[in-house]
Amino acid sequence: MPKVTFREDICKGCGLCVEACPKKILEIAKDRINKKGHNPARMTDQEKCIGCAFCATMCPDCVITVEK
């Protein structure tokens, strides 16, 4: 199963990864704020991830790592 990790401490919450995800299992965390003052992206259901890495490809700050 693929594993997706986010460096939430530097994510600026732009939402590009959320839009790129074909399974729609990413969201911007409205209940958390990182040290830069942004709401970071997060995975909502790791089990449904197919490991396509579209999220990581779209991220302008390279905060997403996809491991297969």
> Integer distance in angstroms from the first to the last C-alpha of the chain?
6
Residue bearing the bigger pLDDT, 68 or 50: 50
Is 0.85 surpassed by the pTM of this model? yes
**Residue 49: which residues within 8 A CB-CB, separation 6 or more?**
1, 2, 4, 23, 25, 43
- Choices 3.30.70.20, 3.40.50.300, 3.90.190.20, 3.40.220.10: CATH for 3-67: 3.30.70.20
Among candidate residues 21, 52, 23, the one with its CA nearest the CA of residue 41 = 21
Q: What percent of the chain has pLDDT over 90?
A: 97
d(CA 67, CA 33): 25
Q: For the chain, which residues make up each domain, given as ranges? A: 3-67
